[in-house]
Amino acid sequence: MDNLLSSKDLESYHKNSFILVKKLFNKDEYSNFRARVDKLKTTVPKEDTVVKPGSFYFLGDLFSKGFGSLALDSRILSIAKQILGPQLVYFGESTVLAGVSAGRGFHRDNAEPDRQDPHAPDWKELNFPIIKMGIYLKDFKRFSGGLKIRKSSHLASDFIDPNNPNINNQEQGRGKIYNIPSESGDLTLWSIRLAHSVSPVRLKLFPNICFSPKIEGKIPGFLQAQSPEERIFLMITFGAPSSELDRYIKYYVERGDFAEHWKRSPFNDELVKSLATNGIEMRKTIPEYGSLCT
């Protein structure tokens, strides 16, 4: 497949660390995604779901939930390889989430000891070799609930005072706050080093005004632009072979809270070969990976 990102897209990514790919999926694909998630709600056992106020997600990755063809979609892989290079690494970090995510606030997803310290190993390279790719099944150009970022916060220059450990360098930064205007069928891609916040609020009368996460929590519900459609989020993480990726996976394993997810995600010769055919190395992060996957 031809490259889907232009040189301008790549330039923008290296500057701002996110890309919004418009209309990557058509209306039929979008409708199919929603229908499949609705079916999962009635077929996935309760022990394989995590329920939180207003939302829930399924334990197990996209392959375990019937979205393997999406994870291996040639369009997604072409875009990922333009950012990361010809060899990708997949290690089970993908998910289906429905409902409104709680806990607004800027944060980064790289290894936690490094998120606030620009002198740490994760900040040695200008281009970080791990990305997240998200498909939000809803209109977030006019409505609340998408993804808020701080532009260029993947760079050490975003830190207000890199030598002051008392400053929360995830919550605060120099980058401009921006609500990504994704719509049905769009793909959003960002570096895991980018500061971002979930479920940003848009106003009914002035949807383009952008607030900090702290202010959003104080906006009355009747002023918020809420869509009648449920928020559904499909996400997959890819890395490039690197010391940064090795360190990130080690951090995730040592954290311990992702073990149940990996246990319910498939790991078998057929899948490993299928990924390898597409230029993807599959990492077995823990010995029990796939042990509870039916």
231-271, pLDDT tens digit by residue?
888 999 999 999 999 999 999 999 999 999 999 999 999 99
Q: Decide if 146 is inside a domain.
A: yes
Alpha carbon distance, N-terminus to C-terminus of the chain? 33
pLDDT of residue 102: 61
Q: Decide if 17 is inside a domain.
A: yes
Q: Which domain holds residue 223?
A: 7-252
Number of folded domains in the chain? Answer: 1
pLDDT of residue 199: 85
**Torsion 29-34-35-37 (CA) sign:** positive
Q: Decide if 276 is inside a domain.
A: no
Q: Is 170 exposed, middle or buried, given 0-12, 13-18 or 19+ CB atoms closer than 10 A?
A: buried
Most confident region among 44-48, 121-125, 188-192 by mean pLDDT: 188-192
Q: From CA 35, how far away is CA 160, in angstroms rounded?
A: 45
Q: Decide if 96 is inside a domain.
A: yes
Mean pLDDT, rounded, of the chain: 92
123-134, pLDDT tens digit by residue?
998 899 999 999
Residue 109 reports pLDDT greater than 90: yes
Residue 28 reports pLDDT greater than 80: yes
pLDDT of residue 285: 98
**CATH assignment of the domain containing 96:** 2.60.120.620
String of DSSP letters for 38-74: HHHHHHS-GGGEEEETTEEEESS-GGGGT-HHHHT-H
51-99, pLDDT tens digit by residue?
776 777 889 999 999 999 999 999 999 999 999 999 999 999 999 988 7
pLDDT of residue 180: 96
Give 117 or 53, the one with higher predicted confidence: 117
pLDDT of residue 18: 96
pLDDT of residue 98: 84
Q: How confident is the model at residue 103 (pLDDT cuts 50, 70, 90)?
A: low
Q: Return phi, psi of residue 233, to 5°.
A: -130, 125
Mean pLDDT of 35-60: 84
Q: Decide if 267 is inside a domain.
A: no
How far from the centroid of its chain's Cα atoms is residue 223's Cα? 28
pTM of the model: 0.94
Residue 184 reports pLDDT greater than 70: yes
Q: How confident is the model at residue 31 (pLDDT cuts 50, 70, 90)?
A: very high
Q: Decide if 23 is inside a domain.
A: yes
Q: Decide if 192 is inside a domain.
A: yes
Per the CB < 8 A criterion, the answer to whether 100 and 145 are in contact is yes
Per the CB < 8 A criterion, the answer to whether 188 and 19 are in contact is yes
268-284, pLDDT tens digit by residue?
999 999 999 999 999 99
Give 79 or 214, the one with higher predicted confidence: 79
Q: Decide if 269 is inside a domain.
A: no
